[in-house]
Amino acid sequence: MDAIVNSLKTNDNRPTEAEAEEAVRTLLRWVGDDINREGLLDTPKRVVKAYKELFSGYDQDAEEELGRTFEEVAGYDDIVLVKDIPFFSHCEHHMVPIIGKAHVAYLPDGKVLGLSKIARVIEIYGRRLQIQETMTAQVAHSIDDALHPRGVAVMIEAEHMCMAMRGIKKQGSTTITTTFTGAFKTDPHEQVRFMTLIRG
């Protein structure tokens, strides 16, 4: 599922940087500005450079990232939770920012991840065009697939600039999405523990 939704790893039709810059010029003219005025001369270059960073997730593989750093632990099998991981993404419908934070927990089954790996996975999926529901599921399933833990819980809370800046212009509203697998799905107590730890 993940592969179909928004992975572009084998995109042979990727335009050149010059073509991308030209597209920015087109948009600048279309909104009504003068691409020859001084302030805008380097803007296409800057936008393309920024896009490279903001959408770098297409060139990165979460499962590869997670696969590298398994460690054996001394019998630790209780919850591992990384909360309040900040991220930026862009909605796939309007290409404007999604700003939020993610909370990720899993119940190890013999193996744990380096803690920074979880934040990296959020970044890899965040730096693609997204809808929040998809991103939440992708993060959960990539950890599930890589680590085979007893369960994974992911909650994402985010503000969507396409709702705040345009359309219904509702600023400050937060969208919450969750994905639970394994024991987090089947055992309500584990879900409650996850929620309590996040809010605590």
For residues 124 and 137, give the distance between their C-alpha atoms in angstroms, rounded to a whole number. 13
**Does the annotation flag 141 for ligand binding?**
no
- E-state strands within 28-161: 70-72, 80-91, 97-107, 111-113, 129-130, 151-160
Nearest CA to 153 out of 123, 108, 120, 114 is that of: 108
138 is catalytic: no
For residues 108 and 161, give the distance between their C-alpha atoms in angstroms, rounded to a whole number. 36
Nearest distance in Å: CB 130, Zn ion: 10
Q: Is 49 in the site for Zn ion (CB under 5 A)?
A: no
- Please report, for residues 44, 93, 191, the alpha-carbon distance to residue 19 in angstroms, rounded to integers and kept in the order given: 10, 22, 48
Site residues (CB under 5 A) for Zn ion, limited to 73-102:
91, 93-94
- Return the number of the residue (37 or 170) whose C-beta is nearest Zn ion: 170
94 is catalytic: yes
148 is catalytic: no
Q: Which of 22, 64, 93, 133 is catalytic?
A: 93
Please tell me the count of residues contacting Zn ion according to CB under 5 A: 4
12, with CB counted inside 10 A (0-12, 13-18, 19+), is exposed
103 is catalytic: no
Work out which of 20, 35, 82, 162 binds Zn ion, going by CB under 5 A.
162
Q: Which of 92, 148, 157, 191 is catalytic?
A: 92
160 is catalytic: yes
- Return the number of the residue (160 or 193) whose C-beta is nearest Zn ion: 160
Binding site for Zn ion (CB under 5 A): 91, 93-94, 162
Tell me the binding residues.
91, 94, 162
